[in-house]
Amino acid sequence: MMLPSEWPRQPFIGIAIAALVGIFIADQLPQAGLGVGLMAASAAIAVWRRSSSATYVFVAASFFALHSTRQTYSAAVALERELGLQPQAITARGVVVTEPKVSERGTSSFLLRLASIQQGNRNIISDATLIARWRGEVRFGDELQLFGVIQPTQRPRNPGEFDMREYLARLDVRQSLLARYPESGRILSRGNGSWIMHAAHASRQWMQSALARGLEDSPDLHGLISGMVLGVRDDTPDEIEEQFQQTGTLHLFAVSGLNVAIVAQLLWTLAAVVRVPRRPAIILTICGLFFYAAITGLNTSSVRAALMAAVLLAGYFAGRKVLAGNSVAAAAVLVLVYDTNQLFSIGFRLSFAVVIAIMLLADPFLRLLMRWCQPDPFLPRSLIAPLQRSSNAAWGTIARGASVSIAAWLGSLPFILPYFHLLTPIALIANLIVVPLAFFVLAVGLMSLLVTPALPWLALVFNNANWALASAILLAVDLLSRAPAGHFYVEAPGWQPGLRLELNALDAASGAALHVRARRDDWLWDTGGARDYKRILRSYLRSRGVNSLDGVALTHGDAAHIGAAIDVFRAFRPREFVDTAAPDRSSVHRMVVTNLDLRGHARQLCATGDEWRLTPDVTIRVLFPPAAHRSRAADDQALVTQIVVHDRWRVLLMSDSGEATERLLLSSGADLQSDVVIKGQHHSGQSGSVDFFERVQPSLVVTSSPVFPEYERVKEEWTQMVRSRGIKLMRQDETGAVTLRFFRDRWEARPYLTSEIYEARADESRHPQPGNASRRWSAATRRRSSR
């Protein structure tokens, strides 16, 4: 074992650590002026002392100043200060700087680098970048003029939802612009921007079409091949991408060291064939690697791999010995010099964490695994049987792959768990099977691209070979994703002693999705719309560690309430499916029921008077509709249930019921008194009448209040009526999702967007009994610190 004094010099490791320290401090306490002063002082000390420690202090101060400046004086920050926090109508002029993504409705989303903004009579010159949405045919490099509404990017409104605001802020994008109609914008010119990026985009489109030749009838497989070769994931279906995530093989879609190594080998071989001298060949190879990184979208993994390869090749160019640790650190420093915010991206962290883990842990694991098949060291090699030598060689190959897989899995675990809430033991096996196949997909794909201009018939042969390889990968990933105990979604640890029931009313705009957790049982009341499933509901359930659901209840045939039902049943396999017995005219409802029937999900029909227990402490009572009830509107036959917790607390779930349903409930004689009412909005905009609240006597009302359609938005007159009766009102346009937790002697409500907590406690002198209509507990509102 070498002593520390004998370790090789790797100065970039210390420089990288100093850079990380400076950026982390600046992110918490951005002080650009202080940073410049510290940088000048530490530079003077470094020149005077000429020591490594002084140099590292100077590096830390420099990155502190650099990141502080970017956080406080960037163009996006200046524009945000200029425009304020309120939505405003503007006319913006700028250039599209990313490849647009087109939604199913034909709306293009892209980053727009501004030239100017016209706001009334005021003209603002700005080179800030914002995210724009417009229903027009947009291409990279187009100069646009858009008229629309600009506002700060929105923060997530539900637990588990991806924080797009934070992500865009790290890209120095703080404003969003919505140009609602095609006539709200026009294309002024095309072909603007960097010619290198134009060439990269054009090359990527050509490569995608070349890889698709002969595979037109297999779009899923072509999407998989394009993802592995070019890092393009837009054509990969969500189901397939989720399977790769669940098997720990999603990294194959990120162009990384494997891709760059193969490209470098092909370029080096090509240079050798045409007899290019060594140094020019190195320069051409480095340029080719960075162009390949540009083609794949300049992702962190591809840039990091290209930089590492460039450092390695530069060492050979200069005739110097190159050390892996120093190369990785140098690549990190160069990335951070270009953009200090890369440090906070999951791609940067995963990319470098995995590489460092492989460097540190792969060899120790390999030595450990090789001990299992090593022959007696005192036994002459000539006495080892050929079969044993072959088996030892095969085990050595498996051990090398397994050691890298284990090291990479351990390196990624600290970031995968908090970001994806996912634990993937099956990844240790999946990578041993899938990565070798992916290596051949990449190699064959690059060979296809290489021969397409000269020998298109041979390219077809390569593409069809890739079809077989990609099919084998999909089959393996599909089987491994179904392996028992192969993957788990896990929730962040938390302890709530005495918790009987937890409800999470997600903010789904005009739709609804309510998660009911009673001890270990997980139910959904409605699933929200199909458009919001991946962004809101699936992300939330995964963050709560839900691997399967115990049941789903559908309240009525509104697409915004049940549109994601098929996706939920496919992903979470609920054991029970509760629906109303009342017939309806909803085509969406009929389609969902028919599809689920074909999948073997039989309905349990419920009607007024039915009830069932989730746990011994939690009972569900069905209050509406009766089995034979008929209505023209789906909202007027929505399922109304009451949750009774510990025979003390009650929650009334009204869905989108209106005043017609409320009148029927009042005339039914049912005990409606409840502590909490959770309601949506009737299509007429009329719900939550005075007489109804007089009977229910709630302490808290949680209601949706969508921006669109406007007639379903909560009206100020209604808001004042509710609050004038001493009822706490939580409008989800103000609060986002609302979490309610019920204990034996108290309950609390926590909005997601605010720090307010509403709490109610039972009156210790008089315990409320079931069916008693009098209010026997007091409610108090208090504020605590934000989460």
pLDDT in tens, 151-197: 999 999 999 999 999 999 999 999 999 998 999 999 999 988 878 77
Confidence at 23, pLDDT banded by 50, 70, 90: very high
Percentage of residues in the chain with pLDDT exceeding 70? 93
Angle at 541 between CA 536 and CA 544, to 5 degrees: 125
Confidence at 764, pLDDT banded by 50, 70, 90: very low
Checking DSSP bridges between strand 756-762 and strand 777-783, what pairing results, if any? antiparallel
CA distances from 696 to 635, 653, 666, 748, 774 (A): 20, 12, 9, 19, 10
Contact 305, 254 (CB under 8 A): no
Task: Find the range with the poorest average confidence among 249-253, 540-544, 589-593.
Answer: 249-253
The whole-number pLDDT of residue 130 equals: 95
Amino acid at 236: T
Angle at 452 between CA 449 and CA 454, to 5 degrees: 135
81's CB contacts (< 8 A; 6+ apart) are: none
CA 179 to chain centre: 25
CA torsion through residues 138, 140, 142, 146, sign: positive
The whole-number pLDDT of residue 528 equals: 94
Q: What are residue 225's phi and psi, to 5 degrees?
A: -65, -45
Task: Find the range with the poorest average confidence among 218-232, 294-308, 397-411.
Answer: 294-308
Percentage of residues in the chain with pLDDT exceeding 90? 49
Give the residues across from 731 on adjacent strands: 703
Confidence at 564, pLDDT banded by 50, 70, 90: very high
Q: Which residue has the tokens 């791999």?
A: 305
Q: Dig out the tokens for 521 from the structure.
A: 């049982």
Whole-prediction pTM value?
A: 0.88
pLDDT in tens, 385-429: 777 778 877 888 888 888 988 998 899 888 888 888 999 999 989
Q: What are residue 247's phi and psi, to 5 degrees?
A: -100, 5
Q: How far apart are CA 84 and CA 57, in angstroms?
A: 38
pLDDT in tens, 337-381: 988 998 998 888 888 888 899 889 999 998 888 887 777 666 677
- Average pLDDT along the chain: 87
- Whether residue 24 is predicted with pLDDT greater than 90 in this model: the reply is yes
Confidence at 694, pLDDT banded by 50, 70, 90: very high
The whole-number pLDDT of residue 370 equals: 84
Q: How far apart are CA 241 and CA 434, in angstroms?
A: 14
Higher pLDDT: 535 or 384? It is: 535
Mean pLDDT computed over 717-738: 94
The whole-number pLDDT of residue 595 equals: 87
Q: Which residue has the tokens 């080096």?
A: 268
Q: Which residue has the tokens 């605010």?
A: 754
Angle at 728 between CA 727 and CA 729, to 5 degrees: 110
Beta strands (DSSP E) in 497-615 are 501-505, 514-518, 521-525, 551-553, 576-580, 604-606, 611-615
Q: Dig out the tokens for 600 from the structure.
A: 């073997």
CA dihedral (133, 139, 145, 148) in degrees, to 10, reads -10
Contact 700, 749 (CB under 8 A): yes
- Whether residue 383 is predicted with pLDDT greater than 80 in this model: the reply is no
CA distances from 196 to 200, 287, 291, 292 (A): 6, 12, 8, 11
Q: Measuring CA to CA, which residue among 501, 380, 421, 414 is closest to residue 743?
A: 501
- Whether residue 74 is predicted with pLDDT greater than 70 in this model: the reply is yes
- Whether residue 787 is predicted with pLDDT greater than 60 in this model: the reply is no
pLDDT in tens, 481-525: 999 989 999 998 888 888 999 999 999 988 889 999 998 899 999
> Half-sphere exposure of 485 toward its Cβ, with a 13 Å CA cutoff?
0
Contact 711, 682 (CB under 8 A): no
Give the residues across from 725 on adjacent strands: none
